[in-house]
């Protein structure tokens, strides 16, 4: 199967320090990959590079075979590379329905239409209802975001991302800040993502990583030190030293 997402020899330095050091990743449709690593490993820089928010010093990013290295963030979204953020970036005075409708109109190149009329657009509203219903948010669709729980806001971010019809979805700690009582909803939303969607999740919660990922990539000091099966990551000496230490030892003892 041809890769839907490729990062080839990506490099970025700040003041002579290589923050992203010759990183290469390939993902096929349907991949479920977790990117982990210690604080300062370069995960945020990597995401900013591949999403077009930061230019690399060298290397390439490809989507469905097209080189997008010199295409900006908005152009990459239009081509199917969509990300969520570690801290929610929703508009507090807008409703879930408005967020999802705006994403649909943006995807279809119709943002020039009168946005307030989206309620009278049957096709748009049908998709809004479907997406919010899938994530259990239909009862909240006309509430202000500031009035709904943080865990539900994280679910709304996933709905907005899915409204953009991604080929590749980058999730930056989707359960960050969510109460333990609500993390099950996030995990169910992840489990319900389309089977052909390639998902790269950055996460510190190792229990969530092992439940979600079919493949784990470990980044340390800007370089990949492991790329393989979740069952093997805790056995890797370099990973144990750089990051997993106590978790790996506890898991082994258990």
More confident residue, 31 or 186: 31
pLDDT per position as a tens digit, 165-195:
999 999 988 888 888 877 888 899 999 999 9
Q: What domains can be seen in the chain, in order of their start residue?
A: 5-89+166-253 (3.40.50.300)
Tell me how far apart the alpha carbons of residues 45 and 58 are, in angstroms, rounded to a whole number.
14
Instruction: State the average pLDDT for the chain.
Output: 89
pLDDT per position as a tens digit, 129-143:
999 998 999 999 999
Q: Of 78-82, 180-184, 241-245, where does mean pLDDT reach its minimum?
A: 241-245
22, HSE (Cβ side, Cα atoms, 13 Å): 1
pLDDT per position as a tens digit, 33-45:
999 998 888 998 9
Kindly indicate the confidence band of residue 249, based on its pLDDT and cuts at 50, 70 and 90. low
Res 245: pLDDT? 61
With a pLDDT cut of 90, the percent of the chain lying above it is 63
Res 252: pLDDT? 46
Tell me how far apart the alpha carbons of residues 187 and 203 are, in angstroms, rounded to a whole number.
12
Shortest CA distance to 172 belongs to which of 57, 64, 48?
48
Res 247: pLDDT? 52
Average pLDDT over residues 85-102: 84
Res 116: pLDDT? 60
pLDDT score of 253 more than 50 = no
- pTM (2 d.p.): 0.89
pLDDT per position as a tens digit, 144-167:
999 999 889 999 999 999 999 999
Average pLDDT over residues 56-68: 96
Kindly indicate the confidence band of residue 87, based on its pLDDT and cuts at 50, 70 and 90. low
Res 85: pLDDT? 67
Contacts of 61 (CB under 8 A, 6+ apart): 6, 7, 8, 10, 49, 50, 52, 67, 68, 69, 76
With a pLDDT cut of 70, the percent of the chain lying above it is 91
188-194 contacts at long range (C-beta below 8 A, 24 or more positions apart)? 189/135, 189/155, 189/158, 192/134, 193/162, 193/169
């Amino acid at each position: 199967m041809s890769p839907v997402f490729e990062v080839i020899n990506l490099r970025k330095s700040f003041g002579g320090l290589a923050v992203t050091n010759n990183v290469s990743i390939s993902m096929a449709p349907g991949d479920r990959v977790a990117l982990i690593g210690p604080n300062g490993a370069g995960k945020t820089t990597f995401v900013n590079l591949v999403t077009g928010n930061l230019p690399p010093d060298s290397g390439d990013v490809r989507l469905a075979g097209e080189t997008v290295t010199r295409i900006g963030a908005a152009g990459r979204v239009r081509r199917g590379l969509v990300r969520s953020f570690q801290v929610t970036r929703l508009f507090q005075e807008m409703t879930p329905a408005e967020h999802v409708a705006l994403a649909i109109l943006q995807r279809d190149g119709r943002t020039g239409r009168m946005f307030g009329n989206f309620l009278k657009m049957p096709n748009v509203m049908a998709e809004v209802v479907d997406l919010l219903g899938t994530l259990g948010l239909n009862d909240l669709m006309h509430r202000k975001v500031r009035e709904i729980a943080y865990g539900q806001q994280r679910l709304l971010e996933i709905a907005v991302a899915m409204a953009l019809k991604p080929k590749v979805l980058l999730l930056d700690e989707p359960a960050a800040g969510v109460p333990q009582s609500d993390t099950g909803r996030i995990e169910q939303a992840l489990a319900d993502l389309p089977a052909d969607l390639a998902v790269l999740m950055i996460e510190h919660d190792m229990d969530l990583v092992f439940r979600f990922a079919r493949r784990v990539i470990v980044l340390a000091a800007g370089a990949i030190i492991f790329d393989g099966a979740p069952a093997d990551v805790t056995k890797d000496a370099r990973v144990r030293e750089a990051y997993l230490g106590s978790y790996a030892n506890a898991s082994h003892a258990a």
